[in-house]
């Protein structure tokens, strides 16, 4: 039996994936639990990552004509009641503000006072309050399309929370657009899905499948929900962005009407689309290994850490000077719209390298007196094994840094794509389907299953039977679907279309 390799994170992914996630987040310094139930504190290392994601998304939104705005945190109860399906979807998990003051209570502490006439809900999403503004902003076809995005915090009172994946408060953007025709709105819905797919694949290095949700998985009140789905390393699916075609439902609920070029008054067609800090959870679960998280260079909180090594005090000033000069040169270069960010870790402690591995920084550089004598640097990259480090001439390193980062980015994407392809299979047989999604060890389920491309007849009955039996849902009806039609995996009905089944976050 081979000796088990020592890992920086305990347990490993195969030992206990859920616990591995908690430990890997903790070791990364990305975020931590807060004293407020279900809320997280995003630490500087995690927030820098979010800022980079925000910048890329924001640039892409603006390139399609979208403008940012800001709407109130609070939503009057009466607004939530406007759209029937919508209220059903969100009422169960709202933070409700009922008072606007605190007073000294009889026992000395503070108690709520100043009861509100109409309670306010902390926004779980802003369709209704934004709809109210839109009804005033839109009056003519000349005002359309109206393309608005908001960066904000939202609250959904989740009972079981996990940092980044499901928290009571999270950060997100929500785009809301208004159009004169259903065609324009449908095109916009698809365009924004493409933006999310580009972010996921080109920046987060997460391969995604684009598709349509089934009616039961749609956003409450939407006519159609498009999504991108990614496979995590436990082979479960994570929805990494959604774009909704809302038809005229929200326009009718919020009274968004316009005078057409022909002089008639029409209800408008709207869309909404969002992505959140959940993406960071997806990034961790796609790329992380048993030594910690791995940050894709294009969105990494920082690119390079330099660790000067000066065991003898007399070496210190020389080593630090070499370090500072190298950092300065690197910082003058650009990598994908931003300057290369360099950390200098000159702490006099053991295990510095492992600290940075756990934080997922793409490139680690060690510099000691011998490297200086040789005019070189000693490099490790996060996509490779710890032992797989090598010496490089200093000038070559500076000249090649953007290529080194691009290589890491590519490796991460290819590795994730290979993993997904390996764990995506076409299943047409009901027995095989049930076996695929059933763990061999029921007591302590091993990582199993994956994406199954299987025929589905379109009935909600079959969909919910599979959900009840296996906790497996239809992640999407993929756009790119060249698979042949077959017999429904559940009821056997012929001529059924292939869809993606998986367990999901």
Judged by the rule CB under 8 A, the positions of this chain that interact with a second copy are: 32, 34-36, 39-44, 46-48, 50-51, 67-81, 87, 91-103, 109-112, 114, 119-122, 129, 132-133, 136, 142, 148, 152-153, 155, 157, 169, 171, 347
230 vs 462 by CB, closer to Zn ion: 462
Asked if 309 interacts with Zn ion (CB under 5 A), we say no
Q: Which is nearer to a second copy, 47 or 419 (CB)?
A: 47
By CB under 5 A, how many residues form the interface with Zn ion? Answer: 7
The alpha carbon dihedral of 126, 132, 137, 143 has a sign of positive
Q: Does 474 bind Zn ion (CB under 5 A)?
A: no
445: left (phi over 0), alpha (psi -120 to 50) or beta: beta
Select the binding partner of residue 457 from Zn ion, a second copy, none (C-beta < 5 to 8 A, by kind).
Zn ion
488 touching Zn ion, by CB under 5 A: yes
Which tokens belong to 290?
């048993």
Q: Which two tokens stand for residue 424?
A: 């995506």
Q: Cβ of residue 80: shortest distance to Zn ion, in angstroms?
A: 35
**How far is Cα 131 from Cα 176, in angstroms, rounded to an integer?**
9
Residue number, 75 or 489, with CB nearest to Zn ion: 489
**Nearest approach, Cβ of 280 to a second copy (angstroms)?**
12
* Cβ 365 vs Cβ 304: under 8 Å: yes
- Which stretch in 208-216, 233-241, 332-340, 457-465 sits in contact with Zn ion by CB under 5 A? 457-465
Query: Distance (Å, rounded) from C-alpha 405 to C-alpha 363?
Result: 8
Read off φ and ψ for residue 426, nearest 5 degrees.
-90, 120
Q: Assign 339 to helix, strand or coil.
A: strand
**Which of a second copy, Zn ion, none does residue 490 bind (CB under 5 to 8 Å by kind)?**
Zn ion
Tokens matching residue 316: 């210190």
Question: Which does residue 269 touch among Zn ion, a second copy, none (CB within 5 to 8 A, set by kind)?
Answer: none
Nearer to a second copy, 155 or 427 (CB): 155
Considering the complex, state which of residue 179 and residue 210 has its C-beta at the smaller distance from a second copy.
Answer: 179
Q: Which is nearer to a second copy, 73 or 320 (CB)?
A: 73
Q: Could you tell me the smallest distance in angstroms from the CB atom of residue 480 to a second copy?
A: 35
CA dihedral of residues 27, 28, 29, 35 (deg, nearest 10): -60
C-alpha 172/C-alpha 499 separation (Å) is: 28
Which of 111, 426 has the CB closer to a second copy? 111
- Specify whether the backbone of 401 is left (phi greater than 0), alpha (psi in -120 to 50) or beta: alpha
Please list the residues that pair with 212 across neighbouring strands. Answer: 226, 477
> Which stretches of the chain bind Zn ion, using CB under 5 A?
457, 459, 462, 488, 490-491, 493
């Amino acid at each position: 039996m081979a000796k088990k390799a020592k890992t920086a994170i305990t347990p490993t992914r195969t030992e206990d994936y859920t616990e591995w996630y908690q430990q890997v987040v903790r070791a990364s310094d990305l975020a931590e639990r807060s004293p407020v139930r279900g809320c997280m504190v995003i630490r500087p290392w995690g927030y820098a990552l979010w800022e980079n994601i925000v910048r890329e998304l924001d640039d892409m939104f603006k390139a399609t004509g979208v403008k940012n705005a800001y709407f109130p945190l609070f939503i009057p109860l009466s607004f939530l009641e406007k759209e029937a399906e919508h209220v059903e979807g969100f009422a169960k998990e709202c933070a409700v503000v009922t008072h606007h003051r605190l007073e000294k209570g009889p026992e000395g502490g503070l108690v709520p006072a100043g009861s509100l006439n109409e309670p306010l809900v902390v926004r779980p999403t802003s369709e209704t309050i934004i709809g109210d503004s839109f009804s005033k902003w839109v009056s003519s076809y000349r005002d359309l399309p109206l393309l608005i995005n908001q960066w904000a915090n939202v609250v959904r009172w989740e009972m079981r929370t996990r940092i980044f994946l499901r928290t009571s408060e999270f950060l997100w953007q929500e785009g809301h657009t208004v159009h004169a025709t259903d065609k324009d709105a449908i095109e916009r819905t698809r365009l924004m899905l493409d933006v999310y797919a580009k972010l996921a694949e080109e920046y987060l290095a997460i391969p995604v499948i684009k598709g349509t949700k089934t009616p039961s998985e749609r956003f409450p009140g939407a006519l159609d929900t498009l999504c991108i789905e990614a496979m995590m390393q436990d082979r479960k699916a994570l929805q990494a962005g959604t774009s909704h075609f809302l038809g005229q439902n929200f326009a009718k609920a919020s009274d968004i009407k316009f005078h057409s070029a022909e002089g008639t008054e029409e209800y408008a067609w709207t869309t909404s689309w969002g992505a959140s800090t959940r993406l960071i959870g997806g990034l961790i679960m796609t790329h992380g290994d048993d030594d910690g998280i791995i940050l894709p260079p294009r969105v990494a909180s920082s690119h390079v850490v330099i660790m000067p090594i000066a065991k003898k005090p007399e070496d210190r000033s020389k080593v630090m000077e070499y370090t500072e000069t190298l950092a300065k040169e690197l910082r003058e270069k650009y990598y994908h719209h931003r300057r290369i960010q360099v950390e200098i870790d000159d702490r006099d402690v053991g295990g510095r390298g492992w600290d940075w591995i756990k934080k997922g920084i793409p490139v680690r550089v060690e510099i000691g007196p011998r490297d200086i004598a040789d005019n070189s640097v000693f490099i490790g990259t996060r996509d490779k094994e710890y032992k797989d480090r090598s010496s490089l001439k200093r000038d070559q390193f500076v000249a090649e840094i953007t290529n080194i980062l691009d290589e890491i980015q590519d490796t991460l994407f290819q590795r994730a794509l290979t993993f997904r392809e390996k764990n995506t299979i076409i299943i047409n047989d009901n027995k095989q389907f049930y076996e695929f999604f059933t763990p061999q060890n029921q007591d302590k389920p091993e990582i199993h299953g994956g994406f199954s491309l299987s025929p589905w007849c379109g009935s909600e009955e079959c969909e919910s039977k599979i959900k009840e039996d296996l906790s497996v849902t239809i992640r999407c009806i993929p756009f790119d679907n060249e698979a042949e039609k077959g017999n429904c995996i559940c009821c056997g009905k012929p001529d059924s279309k292939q869809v993606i089944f998986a367990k999901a976050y």
